[in-house]
């Protein structure tokens, strides 16, 4: 027998100075995977922290606003502009900003922000740009800085070039007071184009008084108290974010500089082309110096940085809220709450939350739901009015109702809605394409605009601005009526005994009905000219350089449908809610406009853009405001048996 002896010896430990190549690769892969997984979360956490810091800054500023109001019984003005050293008092159009610009709202809040030492070092009797105020204007305020803004740094101070070629430096800032979402135009407009929400300008040479304000919470040399605010404090914007300029000559985002875009947002509502936060359009913000920015950086760079502006408008006219946060901006409401507002917010919501004139009940309920209303396409509906009870061939071509208002039968048909005027060389806005619309039933439309006499018969009052003690204006169109007033007129007229017995009801026309009637069935572009020829007796006023006066209805020849003043006299309310994107989704048959909204459509010519190269909806306005150049005409519906 052969025996085997097997001896076992334990393996010796192997000394290793490092990892094998395979282990290193595996380790690197694991680390890379962890970084890939964690990086978005880390970045998100950092951005969340930045947003929270912005919120805290804004809440502290909000507390200071209340303290200021408790002391002065009003909110601070956007800025104080002195007239002492200025020959011309048209300060809103002046480029001598260093001469007349004094304390802005932030400087006025310093004593209420525990910045007493800084406030004491500022001479409130001198312009901000004065040499004695250098230390204050050069001081960066951590409270006025959002950590997300990479351009708010001491290396990027604003450099203002004064008239004597000296350079004045200013520290940057990231918060602005709400000047309003009115249009950049001053005053209520004319028959050429009324302004919806408009800005106000007061200049008095005798008293050397200057005031400039819109629908926001602060104006230039103009203050408002809580009692002046119709909008609720929980639904009215007080402050919002702005970005520091991306070049030293860019004046946007300067905490001590009391100007539009620097520490004041202005004219960024539906009536302009800078509506909504972080507006990306290449011609959005309008301010002094943008032309030089274009020369230095170019339009592509400005658009890429989401800091676009208009190169040829060298005046401070409009500037919207901007931030470097992803997808929106922080906004402080007057009750002290801070909300993050999406860039996609419905422009109508954005417009009314900035207006102190918005009735409190408009936004009082489900406010967060209003804020979450985004500007996106929804299915549009069509409604069959079928407003003629008789067969079309049996319906009279026109008739007078019980108040002697004349109505004309408009035939059914199709047309190209949104067709640009002939000679307009600008591209259509992508959100407002021309499109075919079918009006599937004939309807009766007022041959004339509702007159002052018509209105007084039904409503018992004549609110018209254009009245005269030396002239009978009974046959002039009524104006100075809100959309709500016009709608109430239709309701009351429909409820008169005679009209009820005749089974006739009244309403405002849809925008599609209005444009179809204005074009009188034509599918050819209208030949528009801003200059009226000497032999033009049409009475056309829309878009004209020299506006025509309001006059008696029917003073000029009718169009092919027998309608008077469709392009002249007052502009007219339509039933539709306004949405700039509605043309993109409008149904083919009998479009009714968006289901919901905040502003109403106003029309006064064949094309909603009035033949202008800049596609701005100046006349659109909220249903609770009136204008001396906005009236209405009505549709009569005959109920079926």
For the whole model, what pTM was predicted? 0.90
pLDDT of 570 over the 50 cut = yes
Residues 321, 242 contacting (CB under 8 angstroms): yes
Give a yes or no: residue 601 inside a domain: yes
Q: Tell me which of 16-20, 313-317, 616-620 is least confident.
A: 16-20
User: For residue 384, is pLDDT > 60?
Assistant: no
3-class DSSP state for residue 363? Answer: helix
In a domain, 368, yes or no: no
Q: What is the mean pLDDT of residues 288-296?
A: 95
φ/ψ (deg, to 5) at 154? -70, -20
Q: Which residue has the higher pLDDT, 2 or 391?
A: 391
Q: What is the mean predicted confidence (pLDDT) over 628-637?
A: 98
Q: Are strands 413-417 and 600-603 parallel, antiparallel or unpaired?
A: unpaired
Domain count, the chain: 2
pLDDT cut 90: percent of the chain above it = 79
Whether residue 77 is contained in a domain is answered as yes
Q: Give the pLDDT score at 319.
A: 98
Q: Which two tokens stand for residue 232?
A: 């609720």
Q: Give the pLDDT band of residue 28 (cuts 50, 70, 90).
A: confident
Residue 565 clears pLDDT 60, i.e. is over it: yes
pLDDT over threshold 60, residue 95: yes
pLDDT tier for residue 375 given thresholds of 50, 70 and 90: low
State how far the alpha carbon of 300 is from the alpha carbons of 249, 269, 305, 365, in Å: 17, 24, 9, 42
**Mean pLDDT over each residue of the chain, to the nearest integer:** 92
Q: Looking at the structure, tell me whether residues 541 and 622 fall in a common domain.
A: yes
Which CATH number fits the domain that encloses residue 583?
3.90.1580.10
pLDDT in tens, 234-245: 999 999 999 999
Does residue 540 belong to any structural domain of this protein? yes
Band (388; pLDDT cuts 50, 70, 90): low
Is it the case that residue 521 has pLDDT exceeding 90? no
Residues 339 and 454 in one domain: no
Measured CA to CA, the distance from residue 497 to residue 69 in angstroms comes to: 54
| Mean pLDDT on 367-392 | 64
pLDDT digits (tens, 9 = 90+) for 327-344: 999 999 999 999 999 999
More confident residue, 11 or 465: 465
Mean pLDDT over 426-431 rounds to: 83
What is the predicted pLDDT for the residue at 373?
75
Note whether residue 86 is domain-resident.
yes
Task: Please give the structure tokens belonging to residue 606.
Answer: 């064949």
Write the CB contacts of 526 (distance below 8 Å, at least 6 apart in sequence): 419, 421, 422, 519, 605, 606, 607, 611
Q: Note the pLDDT of residue 395.
A: 82
Reported as a pLDDT band with limits 50, 70 and 90, residue 5 is very low
User: Are 482 and 590 in a shared domain?
Assistant: yes
pLDDT band for 16, please (50, 70, 90 cuts).
low
Tell me, yes or no, whether 384 and 475 share the same domain. Answer: yes
What is the widest separation between alpha-carbon atoms in the chain?
A: 146
Tell me, yes or no, whether 345 and 450 share the same domain: no
Distances in Å between the alpha carbon of 4 and those of 1, 8, 10, 379? 10, 13, 19, 91
Mean pLDDT of 245-272: 97
| In a domain? residue 12 | no
Asked if 343 and 466 sit in the same domain, the reply is no
3-class DSSP assignment, residue 220: strand
Whether residue 348 sits in one domain with residue 411: no
The whole-number pLDDT of residue 42 equals: 63
Percent above pLDDT 70 for the chain: 92
- Do 226 and 259 share a domain, yes or no? yes
pLDDT at 12 over 80: no
Q: pLDDT at position 32, please?
A: 73
Q: Quick one: which H or E segment has residue 200?
A: strand 200-204
Residues facing residue 330 across a β-bridge: 340
What's residue 271's pLDDT?
Answer: 92
Per-residue model confidence (pLDDT) at position 1: 42
The reported pLDDT for the residue numbered 10 is 46
> Is the model's pLDDT at 6 over the cut of 50?
no
Distance separating alpha carbons of residues 597 and 588, to the nearest angstrom = 21
For 97-130, what is each residue's pLDDT tens digit?
999 999 999 999 999 999 999 999 999 999 999 9
Confidence class for position 38, pLDDT limits 50, 70, 90 = low
Which pLDDT does position 386 carry in this prediction? 53
d(CA 588, CA 59): 49
Residue 367 forms part of a structural domain: no
Q: Which of 507, 477, 481, 480 is nearest to 492 (CA)?
A: 507
Instruction: Give the mean pLDDT of 478-502.
Output: 98
* pLDDT at site 9: 46
DSSP labels for 308-335? -B-TT--S--BB----SSTTEEEEEETT
Averaged pLDDT, 62-69: 98
Domain identity same for 500 and 386: yes
Q: Does position 2 have pLDDT exceeding 50, yes or no?
A: no
pLDDT digits (tens, 9 = 90+) for 446-474: 999 999 999 999 999 999 999 988 899 99
With a cut of 50, say whether residue 493 has pLDDT above it.
yes
Which comes out higher in pLDDT, residue 164 or 377?
A: 164
Contacts of 574 (CB under 8 A, 6+ apart): 508, 509, 510, 511, 514, 593, 600, 601, 602, 603
> Which structural domain, as residue segments, surrounds residue 337?
51-276+330-360
Structure confidence by residue, pLDDT tens digits, 151-161: 999 999 999 99
434 lies in the same domain as 548: yes
Cβ neighbours for 311, distance < 8 A, ≥ 6 positions apart: 290, 291, 293, 294, 299
Query: So what's the pLDDT on residue 532?
Result: 87
203, 245: one domain = yes
Does 338 reside within a domain?
yes
Q: Is the pLDDT of residue 399 over 90?
A: yes
Same domain, 355 and 388: no
Q: In whole angstroms, what is the distance from residue 500 CA to residue 617 CA?
A: 37
Pair 313, 284: CB distance under 8 Å: no
């Amino acid at each position: 027998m052969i025996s085997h002896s097997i001896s076992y010896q334990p393996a010796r430990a192997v000394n290793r100075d490092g990892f094998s190549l395979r282990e290193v690769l595996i380790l690197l892969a694991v680390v890379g995977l962890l970084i890939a997984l964690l990086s978005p979360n880390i970045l998100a956490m950092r951005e969340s922290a930045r947003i929270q810091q912005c919120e805290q800054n804004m809440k502290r500023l909000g507390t200071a606003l209340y303290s200021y109001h408790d002391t002065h019984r009003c909110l601070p003005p956007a800025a104080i502009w002195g007239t002492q050293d200025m020959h011309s008092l048209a300060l809103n159009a002046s480029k001598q900003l260093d001469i007349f610009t004094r304390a802005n709202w932030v400087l006025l809040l310093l004593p209420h922000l525990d910045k007493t030492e800084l406030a004491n070092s500022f001479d409130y009797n001198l312009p901000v740009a004065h040499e004695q105020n250098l230390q204050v204007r050069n001081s960066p305020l951590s409270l006025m800085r959002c950590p997300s803004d990479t351009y708010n740094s001491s290396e990027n101070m604003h450099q203002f070039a004064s008239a004597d070629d000296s350079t004045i430096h200013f520290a940057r800032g990231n918060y602005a007071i709400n000047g309003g979402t009115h249009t950049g135009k001053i005053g209520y407009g004319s028959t050429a184009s009324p302004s919806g929400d408009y800005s106000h300008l007061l200049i008095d040479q005798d008293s050397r008084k200057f005031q400039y304000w819109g629908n926001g919470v602060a104006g230039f040399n103009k203050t408002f108290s809580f009692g002046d605010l119709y909008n609720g404090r929980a639904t009215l914007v007080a402050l919002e974010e702005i970005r520091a300029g991306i070049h030293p000559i860019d004046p946007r985002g300067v905490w001590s500089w009391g100007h539009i875009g620097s520490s004041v947002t202005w004219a960024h509502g539906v009536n302009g082309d800078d509506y909504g936060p972080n507006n990306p359009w290449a011609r959005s913000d309008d301010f002094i110096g943008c032309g030089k920015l274009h020369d230095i950086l170019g339009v592509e760079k400005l658009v890429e940085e989401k800091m676009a502006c208009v190169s040829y408008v060298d005046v401070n006219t409009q500037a919207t809220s901007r931030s470097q946060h992803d997808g929106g901006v922080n906004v402080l409401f007057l009750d002290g709450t801070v909300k993050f507002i999406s860039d996609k917010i419905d422009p109508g919501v954005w417009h009314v939350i900035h207006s102190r004139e918005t009735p409190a009940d408009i936004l009082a309920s489900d406010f967060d739901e209003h804020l979450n209303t985004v500007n996106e396409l929804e299915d549009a509906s069509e409604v069959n009015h079928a407003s003629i009870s008789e067969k079309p061939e049996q319906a009279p071509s026109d008739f007078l109702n019980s108040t002697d208002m004349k109505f004309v039968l408009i035939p059914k048909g199709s047309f190209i809605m949104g067709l640009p005027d002939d000679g307009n060389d600008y591209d259509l806005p992508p959100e407002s394409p021309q499109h075919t619309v079918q009006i599937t039933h004939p309807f009766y439309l007022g041959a004339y605009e509702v007159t002052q006499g018509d209105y007084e018969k039904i409503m018992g009052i004549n609110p018209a601005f254009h009245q005269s003690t030396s002239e009978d204006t009974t046959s002039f169109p009524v104006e100075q009526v809100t959309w709500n007033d016009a709608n109430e007129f239709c309701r009351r007229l429909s409820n008169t005994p005679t009209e009820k017995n005749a089974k006739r009801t009244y309403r405002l026309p849809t925008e599609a009905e209005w444009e179809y009637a204005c074009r009188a069935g034509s599918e050819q572009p209208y030949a528009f000219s801003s200059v009226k020829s000497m032999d033009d007796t049409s009475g056309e006023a829309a878009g004209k350089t020299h506006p025509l006066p309001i006059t008696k209805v029917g003073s000029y020849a009718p169009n092919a449908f027998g309608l008077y003043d469709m392009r002249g006299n007052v502009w007219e309310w339509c039933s539709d809610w306004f949405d700039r994107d509605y043309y993109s989704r409008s149904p083919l048959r009998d479009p009714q406009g968006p289901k919901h909204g905040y502003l109403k459509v106003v029309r006064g010519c064949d094309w909603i853009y009035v033949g202008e190269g800049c596609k701005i909806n100046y006349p659109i306005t909220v249903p609770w405001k009136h204008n001396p150049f906005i009236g209405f005409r009505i549709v009569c519906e005959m109920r079926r048996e």
